[in-house]
C-alpha cells in the first residue's frame, strides 16, 4: 500500500498506519481523505494477513489537527461540500471496518482528528495530548460522526458541554470520562498499543470480527434485538475450522493456530 499522505507498515498480523503530514500537524487534506477512504475500503474487501490495525500520527506534537484549513481557505461551498462528502465516506468506511482499529493518539487531536480517533474501536493516548471538537469555533459543527460517537463514549450531557464550548480537554480527563482506554507515556504509546494489537491478532479473526460487529450494531438496537443479532453472529462461527481448532487446542493444551476459516 503506497499512499502520498500515509505510511503503512505490516508487523506480522498488525498493520501500523501513520498519518504522515507532520509539517501541518497531520491535518486532513483532500489527498489524505482519498488515501484513508481507499485504505479502509481495501481492508474491508480483503484484509489479507491483517488482524488488527493501529492508527497513529507522524511527529511528536499531533495525532491530527483536523481538516486542513489552509487548503479550505477560499473554497466555494460546492467544493467544500464535495470534499466533505469524500471525508464522510472515509469516516463511514472506518466505522464499518470489520478489522479492529486502535487509535494511538500520539499528540493533539482536534476536530476531524478527534473524530477519526472516535471512529476507531478504542483509544490509547499520550499524557500530553489535548483533544477537542472545536468546529463551532470555526462556524461549522462536527461532521465526521462527532455528535454521535462522542455522546456514546462520554454521555449526552458531557458531549454537549464539550461540543458547544469547543474547549480542549486532557487525555487524563478523557480517560476519566470513558473516552480514552489508556493514558501512556509518549515513549511507550506504540509499544503498549502493539501489545494489545498482538493480543487481539492472536485470537480467532472470524470470532473477533463477529464480536466487533455484534457490539457495534447491537448498541443501536433494543436489548432483545441486539441479543438476537449476537446469536446470529455466534451461530456463524460454529461450523468453522477455527472453532474446531480452538476446541482441539484447548483439549491438547497447546496454542491454537487460527487461519480465519
Q: What is the CATH number of the domain that holds 194?
A: 3.90.226.10
Q: Report the pLDDT value the prediction gives residue 103, as an integer from 0 to 100.
A: 98
Range(s) of the domain holding residue 54: 6-201
Average pLDDT estimate for 53-70? 95
Q: What is the mean pLDDT of the chain?
A: 96
Q: Please indicate, yes or no, whether residues 173 and 236 belong to a single structural domain of this protein.
A: no
Report the CATH number that the domain containing residue 215 is assigned in CATH: 1.10.12
Q: How many domains does the chain have?
A: 2
pLDDT tens-digit readout, 150-191: 999 999 999 999 999 999 999 999 999 999 999 999 999 999
Do residues 54 and 197 make contact, with C-beta atoms less than 8 angstroms apart?
yes
Q: Is 107 helix (H, G, I), strand (E, B) or coil?
A: coil
Q: Report the pLDDT value the prediction gives residue 60, as an integer from 0 to 100.
A: 87
Q: Report the pLDDT value the prediction gives residue 161, as an integer from 0 to 100.
A: 98
| Phi and psi angles of residue 54, each rounded to the nearest 5 degrees, phi first | -115, 125
pLDDT tens-digit readout, 229-258: 999 999 999 999 999 999 999 999 999 999
Q: Report the pLDDT value the prediction gives residue 108, as an integer from 0 to 100.
A: 97
Strands 101-105 and 52-57: parallel
Q: Please indicate, yes or no, whether residues 131 and 76 belong to a single structural domain of this protein.
A: yes
Q: Please indicate, yes or no, whether residues 17 and 76 belong to a single structural domain of this protein.
A: yes
Q: How confident is the model at residue 10 (pLDDT cuts 50, 70, 90)?
A: very high
- Reply yes or no on whether the pLDDT at 48 is more than 80: yes
Residues marked active site are found at: 115, 135
Q: Report the pLDDT value the prediction gives residue 7, as an integer from 0 to 100.
A: 98
Q: Please indicate, yes or no, whether residues 184 and 83 belong to a single structural domain of this protein.
A: yes
Q: Please indicate, yes or no, whether residues 132 and 160 belong to a single structural domain of this protein.
A: yes
| 27 domain-assigned | yes
Average pLDDT estimate for 74-91? 95
Q: Report the pLDDT value the prediction gives residue 1, as an integer from 0 to 100.
A: 75
Which of 162, 180, 201 corresponds to the end of one domain?
201
CA distances from 215 to 47, 64, 81 (A): 20, 27, 32
Q: Please indicate, yes or no, whether residues 173 and 209 belong to a single structural domain of this protein.
A: no
| 67 domain-assigned | yes
% of the chain beyond a pLDDT of 70: 100
Q: Report the pLDDT value the prediction gives residue 77, as an integer from 0 to 100.
A: 95
Amino acid at each position: 500500500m503506497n499512499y502520498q499522505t500515509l505510511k503503512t507498515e505490516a508487523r506480522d498480523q498488525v498493520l501500523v498506519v501513520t498519518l504522515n503530514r507532520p509539517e501541518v500537524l497531520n491535518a486532513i487534506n483532500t489527498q489524505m481523505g482519498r488515501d484513508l477512504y481507499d485504505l479502509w475500503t481495501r481492508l474491508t474487501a480483503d484484509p489479507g494477513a491483517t488482524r488488527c490495525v493501529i492508527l497513529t500520527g507522524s511527529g511528536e506534537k499531533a495525532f491530527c489537527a483536523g481538516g486542513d484549513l489552509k487548503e479550505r481557505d477560499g473554497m466555494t461551498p460546492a467544493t467544500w461540500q464535495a470534499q466533505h462528502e469524500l471525508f464522510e465516506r472515509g469516516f463511514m468506511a472506518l466505522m464499518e471496518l470489520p478489522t479492529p482499529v486502535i487509535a494511538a493518539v500520539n499528540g493533539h487531536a482536534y476536530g476531524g482528528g478527534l473524530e477519526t480517533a472516535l471512529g476507531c474501536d478504542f483509544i490509547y493516548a499520550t499524557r500530553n495530548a489535548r483533544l477537542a471538537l472545536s468546529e463551532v469555533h470555526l462556524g461549522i459543527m462536527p461532521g465526521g460522526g462527532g455528535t454521535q460517537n462522542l455522546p456514546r463514549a462520554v454521555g449526552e450531557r458531557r458531549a454537549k458541554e464539550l461540543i458547544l464550548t469547543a474547549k480542549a480537554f486532557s487525555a487524563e480527563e478523557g480517560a476519566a470520562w470513558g473516552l480514552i482506554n489508556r493514558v501512556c507515556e509518549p515513549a511507550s504509546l506504540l509499544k503498549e498499543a502493539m501489545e494489545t494489537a498482538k493480543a487481539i491478532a492472536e485470537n480467532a479473526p472470524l470470532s473477533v470480527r463477529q464480536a466487533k460487529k455484534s457490539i457495534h450494531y447491537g448498541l443501536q438496537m433494543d436489548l432483545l434485538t441486539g441479543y438476537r443479532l449476537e446469536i446470529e453472529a455466534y451461530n456463524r462461527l460454529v461450523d468453522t475450522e477455527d472453532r474446531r481448532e480452538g476446541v482441539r487446542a484447548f483439549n491438547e493444551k497447546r496454542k491454537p493456530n487460527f487461519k480465519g476459516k
